[in-house]
A and B are shown apart, each in its own frame.
Chain A
C-alpha cells in the first residue's frame, strides 16, 4: 500500500488525561476513498482519536500523518468534522452561520454563496435560509450542522455519531449523501456505537475497546473470518434441540423467529436433522452471516 492510498495513518499513538489513558499505542490506516468505521463502546477512545486526527489535541506519543504529510493547521481546511458535541449559534440566521463556518475553512465569495444554496437544497431546507437557528427543529439543526462539515468540499470527512436523534427519512437522506461523497472519492471516517448503521455503510472498520484496538480490517473479511455459523430458524416444536449446548452456543429469540449461533464444531445439517427427528415443523432454516453487532459483542467480551 503506497502513502497516496492512505489518507490517515496513525502510528503507535497514545494520549492520556492525567491518570486516565484515553488512547494507548493505537496504529491505524484509513484508506483513501473508503468509509472507515471507528467503532467501540462509550469511552473506548473514539472521540479522542478523532480529535487528534483533526488537530484539536496533540498525542502524547506516536505520530499521525494526513494525506502523506505530518499534521499541521493548514491541513485542517481539507478536513470536514462533525463532532458528537455540536450546536449552532441560536440567534444567528442560518445563512450567516453557514457563511461564517465557510470562511473559517477559507471558502469565500461567490463560491461560498453557491455552495450554501446547493447544500440547503440538498437537505431540503432552502426555505429556512433566513431563519434563526432557534426556530428550527432539532433534526433540521442537525442537517445544518452536517452542512458546516461539508461546505468546503473536504477530502476527509469525519462524522461522529452523525445520525443520532434523526428520524429514518433524514437518516436515509444523510446516508445517501455520505455514500455519494464516497463515490466522489472522499475518505470518510465514521464513528458510532450503533452497529446496524455501521454495517450498512462501512467498508473498513476498526474496533476500539478500553483505549486499545481490538481488531481492524475490511468488514467483508471480518465477517468471512467469523464464518457462516449462524442460523435463522422459524419452527414449531423441537425446542429441546435448540437448547442443546453441544449444537447451539447462543440462542436469541425474536418475535417470530430465533437466531442460533452454532457451537464450535457443530454442523448446521446435523442441527436440521435433529430438529426434523424431534418432529419440528420448519418454516425457515437459513444460514446467515454474523451481524456486526454479534462480532462486536463477541470481541468486546473476549478482550475484557
Chain B
C-alpha cells in the first residue's frame, strides 16, 4: 500500500510540476472563452443597412413590408418566424432600408432600367419587384448586387412572407388584435412528474446528462493520452525492470492510473471553479436584467449518480488506454492503436438519442449494462424513467469490476512485454501473455 502511494505521489507531482500542466490549465479557459466571444463579436460588427427599393405593383404591400422589417416590430413575439430566425433577424431584417418606388405611369421596363442604373452606381443594394398578382401567386423577384449575401435574400424572403400573410388576413377582414393572437407562438414546457409526484425539470436534466457525457468525453480524450504516455514512460526510459524488482506490476499500473487521475481531477476542479464563478456571475447578471435564470430542480440522488457514472466512464476508457500502453513500445504506436478506442467512445456517446427515446427497452437495458456504453446510457435512463435501483447498482458493479480486470490484464501484458524486450504485442499475444506471465 505504501509503495502504491509512492507511485501515485510520483505520477502526480511529476505531472503537476511540469510546465505543460500549468500552461494548459490556464490556457484552455482562455481559448474556450475566445471561441465563445470572438464569433459573437464578429456577428455584432455593424454593417451599413442594405438599401432595397420596392416596386409594389399591387399598390398595397409596401406598408406591411416596411412594418415587417422595421426595428420595433420585428422583435415582437407575434412574428411566427422569430423562433427559428433570431439569427437572421439580428443580421438582416433589422438592417434594411426600404424605399418605395413610385410607378407614376412608367412601364416596368423603364423602372427596371432606372433601378439597374442606380444598382450599377451603387446607390442601391437591390430591388424587389412585386407583380400585380403577388397576393394570389406569391411570386416576386429580388435583384441585387451581391447574390452571395444569403442572409439578405433569406431576410427579404421572410419579410415578404410575413407581409403577405398580414395582407391576406387584412383582406379577409381579420382585425388587428386577432391577427396578433394568431401569430403568438406556443411555449412548451416539458415537465416530468416523478414517481414521488414532484415536478422535475426534464430539459435541465437532459442538458446535465449531456454536459456530464461531454466533460467525460473531453477528459478521456485529454487524459487517455497522458495515461498511455505514463504507462510507456518506464519502457522508453528503461526503468521498468528496476521498478518491478520493488513493486508488483498491478500496483504500479494502478498507481499510475490513480496518479494521473488525480492530475485530471486537479485540472478539472480548477476549471470547474472558474466556470462556476463565471456562471454565478453571469446568472446574477441575467437575473438583474430581468431574464429568467435559475439552478435546475434535480433530485440530489441524481447528482450522486452523475459523479459515479462520470468516474466509471472515465476509468473504463482510461484503463483501456493503459492496456494499449502495456502492449506497445513507443507513444507513436500507442496513438495509432488508440484510434479504435475513440471510435467506441463516440458510438457509445451517440447512444444518448436512441436510449432517451425508449429508456425502458431491452436495448436500453443492455447498453446500460455494457461498461463502455453504461455511463451515458444509464444516466439517460435515470433522468428519464429511473430504472429500479438494482439495475443501477448492477451497472456500477459490472463497470468497476471491469476496470479492475482490465488493469490486471494490462499489468500482466506489461510485465511480459517488458521481459520480451521491445516487442509490440498483437492482441492474441497479449491474451497469451496475460495467461502465462
* A-to-B contact residues, CB < 8 Å: 17, 51, 54-57, 73, 76-77, 79, 81-83, 85-92, 96, 100-101, 103-106, 145, 148-149
A89 touches which of B2, B239, B248 (Cβ 8 Å)? B239
Q: Contact at B6–A103, with CB atoms within 8 Å?
A: yes
Q: Known contacts A56-B245, A76-B245; decide if A87 and B238 are in contact (CB<8 Å).
A: yes
Q: Contact at B6–A104, with CB atoms within 8 Å?
A: yes
A56 neighbours in B (Cβ, 8 Å):
241, 244-245, 415, 419
Please name 11 further chain A to chain B contacts, defined as beta carbons within 8 Å, in addition to the given A85-B238, A104-B3, A104-B7, sorted by A numbering.
A57-B415, A57-B419, A76-B246, A81-B245, A83-B241, A86-B242, A87-B238, A89-B14, A91-B18, A92-B14, A101-B242
- B285 in the interface, Cβ–Cβ < 8 Å? no
B238 neighbours in A (Cβ, 8 Å):
85-87
**Cα–Cα distance between A16 and B27 once the two chains are bound (Å):** 52
Q: Known contacts A17-B420, A91-B18; decide if A104 and B246 are in contact (CB<8 Å).
A: yes
- B247 in the interface, Cβ–Cβ < 8 Å? yes
- B237 in the interface, Cβ–Cβ < 8 Å? yes
Complex A-B, nearest 7 residue pairs according to Cβ-Cβ distance, in ascending order: A87-B238, A103-B6, A104-B246, A81-B245, A87-B237, A83-B241, A54-B245
Number of interface residues of B (CB under 8 A): 26
* 18 contacting pairs across A/B (C-beta < 8 A): A51-B419, A56-B241, A57-B415, A79-B245, A81-B242, A83-B241, A86-B238, A87-B239, A89-B14, A89-B233, A89-B237, A89-B239, A90-B237, A92-B14, A96-B10, A96-B13, A104-B243, A145-B242
Q: Contact at B241–A85, with CB atoms within 8 Å?
A: yes
* B-to-A contact residues, CB < 8 Å: 2-3, 6-7, 10, 13-14, 18, 233, 237-248, 415, 419-421, 437
B13 neighbours in A (Cβ, 8 Å):
96
**Cα–Cα distance between A145 and B243 once the two chains are bound (Å):** 12
**Cα–Cα distance between A87 and B35 once the two chains are bound (Å):** 43
**Cα–Cα distance between A197 and B345 once the two chains are bound (Å):** 56
B247 neighbours in A (Cβ, 8 Å):
104
Q: Known contacts A88-B239, A91-B14; decide if A106 and B419 are in contact (CB<8 Å).
A: no
Q: Known contacts A89-B239, A92-B14; decide if A100 and B6 are in contact (CB<8 Å).
A: yes
A73 neighbours in B (Cβ, 8 Å):
248
**Cα–Cα distance between A103 and B13 once the two chains are bound (Å):** 15
A101 neighbours in B (Cβ, 8 Å):
242, 246
**Cα–Cα distance between A30 and B109 once the two chains are bound (Å):** 113
Name the residue on A nearest B252 (C-beta). Answer: A104
A100 neighbours in B (Cβ, 8 Å):
6, 10
**Cα–Cα distance between A145 and B335 once the two chains are bound (Å):** 30
A149 neighbours in B (Cβ, 8 Å):
242
Q: Known contacts A100-B6, A103-B6; decide if A86 and B246 are in contact (CB<8 Å).
A: no
**Cα–Cα distance between A81 and B243 once the two chains are bound (Å):** 10
A47 to chain B, nearest CB (A): 9
**Cα–Cα distance between A216 and B247 once the two chains are bound (Å):** 31
A23 to chain B, nearest CB (A): 13
B3 neighbours in A (Cβ, 8 Å):
103-104, 106
**Cα–Cα distance between A54 and B241 once the two chains are bound (Å):** 10
B7 neighbours in A (Cβ, 8 Å):
104
**Cα–Cα distance between A89 and B11 once the two chains are bound (Å):** 11
**Cα–Cα distance between A103 and B237 once the two chains are bound (Å):** 20
Name the residue on A nearest B422 (C-beta). Answer: A85
A106 neighbours in B (Cβ, 8 Å):
2-3
A16 to chain B, nearest CB (A): 10
**Cα–Cα distance between A73 and B248 once the two chains are bound (Å):** 8
**Cα–Cα distance between A42 and B247 once the two chains are bound (Å):** 27
Name the residue on B nearest A83 (C-beta). Answer: B241
A51 neighbours in B (Cβ, 8 Å):
241, 419
B14 neighbours in A (Cβ, 8 Å):
89, 91-92
B248 neighbours in A (Cβ, 8 Å):
73
B408 to chain A, nearest CB (A): 16
B18 to chain A, nearest CB (A): 7
Name the residue on A nearest B2 (C-beta). Answer: A106
Q: Contact at B237–A88, with CB atoms within 8 Å?
A: yes
B120 to chain A, nearest CB (A): 68
**Cα–Cα distance between A74 and B407 once the two chains are bound (Å):** 22
A148 neighbours in B (Cβ, 8 Å):
242
Q: Contact at B6–A86, with CB atoms within 8 Å?
A: no
**Cα–Cα distance between A57 and B242 once the two chains are bound (Å):** 13
A81 neighbours in B (Cβ, 8 Å):
241-242, 245
B424 to chain A, nearest CB (A): 16
B11 to chain A, nearest CB (A): 10
**Cα–Cα distance between A87 and B237 once the two chains are bound (Å):** 5
A61 to chain B, nearest CB (A): 14
**Cα–Cα distance between A77 and B237 once the two chains are bound (Å):** 23
B246 neighbours in A (Cβ, 8 Å):
76-77, 101, 104-105
A105 neighbours in B (Cβ, 8 Å):
246
Name the residue on B nearest A48 (C-beta). Answer: B419
**Cα–Cα distance between A103 and B246 once the two chains are bound (Å):** 10
**Cα–Cα distance between A302 and B420 once the two chains are bound (Å):** 30
A86 touches which of B18, B233, B241, B420 (Cβ 8 Å)? B241
B396 to chain A, nearest CB (A): 31
A54 neighbours in B (Cβ, 8 Å):
244-245
**Cα–Cα distance between A157 and B80 once the two chains are bound (Å):** 85
**Cα–Cα distance between A91 and B238 once the two chains are bound (Å):** 14
Most buried by B among A82, A85, A90, A106: A85
**Cα–Cα distance between A94 and B91 once the two chains are bound (Å):** 61
**Cα–Cα distance between A96 and B242 once the two chains are bound (Å):** 16
Name the residue on A nearest B248 (C-beta). Answer: A73
Most buried by B among A55, A77, A90, A103: A103
Name the residue on A nearest B7 (C-beta). Answer: A104
**Cα–Cα distance between A283 and B239 once the two chains are bound (Å):** 53
**Cα–Cα distance between A284 and B437 once the two chains are bound (Å):** 58
**Cα–Cα distance between A86 and B240 once the two chains are bound (Å):** 8
B233 neighbours in A (Cβ, 8 Å):
89
**Cα–Cα distance between A92 and B18 once the two chains are bound (Å):** 10
B243 neighbours in A (Cβ, 8 Å):
104
Q: Contact at B419–A83, with CB atoms within 8 Å?
A: no
B64 to chain A, nearest CB (A): 72
**Cα–Cα distance between A56 and B242 once the two chains are bound (Å):** 10
B415 neighbours in A (Cβ, 8 Å):
56-57
Name the residue on A nearest B419 (C-beta). Answer: A57
B237 neighbours in A (Cβ, 8 Å):
87-90
**Cα–Cα distance between A82 and B245 once the two chains are bound (Å):** 9
B244 neighbours in A (Cβ, 8 Å):
54, 56
B239 neighbours in A (Cβ, 8 Å):
86-89
**Cα–Cα distance between A87 and B240 once the two chains are bound (Å):** 9
Name the residue on A nearest B420 (C-beta). Answer: A17
Most buried by A among B2, B13, B233, B239: B239
